[in-house]
Structures are given as structure tokens and as C-alpha cells.
Amino acid sequence: MIDLYSRKVISWSLSNRMTKQLVTRSLIDAIKTRKPEAGLIFHSDQGVQYASNEFRNILASINAKPSMSRRGNCWDNAVAESFFKTIKTELIKWENFQTRKEADMKIFSYIEIFYNRQRIHSTIGYVSPVEFEEQNHA
């Protein structure tokens, strides 16, 4: 899950399958980390896991508004799609993971150490997401 304001990956989970439990766990982690105010807009694609009652109930519990892209409209989800392209291009394409644990560790390192703390983003003034948040007290 990415904060559109700072481009920071605020929560993520890995699994062999895209399930409602996977995205629900990530949403709960994001809520604990960010403690969002009422009125948050949570944007996703039309995956069934995001439309599940469990996921929607968690959004409702924090007074968040769900938002989904129209079918075939990638622009609404462009920031997330850009992140996935970036991690595939900068990390996954160059790796030959021997184990699931190795993949988990390298993806963790990429997101938490490099992407959030070192990789600069043009949309936020050529600083990292963490630096942007520190500068803007997000």
C-alpha cells in the first residue's frame, strides 16, 4: 500500500496467492502504522479481495472511503502500477532467488531500505519518500 502524498510504501505483504487475507493483513498493518484520520480515500483496482466484506468493513471502521478503478482504466492506479514496474525492473529482473526466504529478505531490503529511504522521486521534489515526509511533517 502506497501513500500517494509521499509515495512511501506504508504496508506490504507477500504470498503465493492474492487473497483477501493478504490485503486485509496489509491494510491492518497500514492502519496501525499511519493511524489515518476519517475521510481517507483508499484506492484499489477491482480485485475481489478489495471488494470483500471483511476488507470493506475494516475501511468502514476507520471511516475511510473505498475507491476502485473502472474496468480497463489503469490511470487511476498508476502510482501502484509504476511501483510494481519499478521493483520488477530494479530488483526482480536481476535476481535468481534460490528460496522464498531469500526473496522475502531482498524485497524487504529493497522496499524498506532503498525505495522508501534512498530512491528519489521526481513527483516529490527529487527526494526519497522518508525525506519528503520529514520535510513536510507528514
All domains of the chain, ordered by start, with CATH?
Answer: 20-136 (3.30.420.10)
Report the C-alpha gap between 128 and 79 in whole angstroms.
Answer: 15
Q: What is the DSSP string of 96-125?
A: --SSHHHHHHHHHIIIIIIITTT--BGGGT
pTM: 0.86
Residue type, 117: R
| Mean pLDDT score across all residues of the chain | 90
Report the C-alpha gap between 48 and 102 in whole angstroms.
Answer: 29
Report the C-alpha gap between 75 and 116 in whole angstroms.
Answer: 23
Report the C-alpha gap between 22 and 126 in whole angstroms.
Answer: 32
Residues 13-68: tens digit of each pLDDT: 888 888 889 999 999 999 999 999 898 999 887 778 888 999 999 999 999 988 88
Place of cell 478503478: 69
Report the C-alpha gap between 22 and 41 in whole angstroms.
Answer: 20
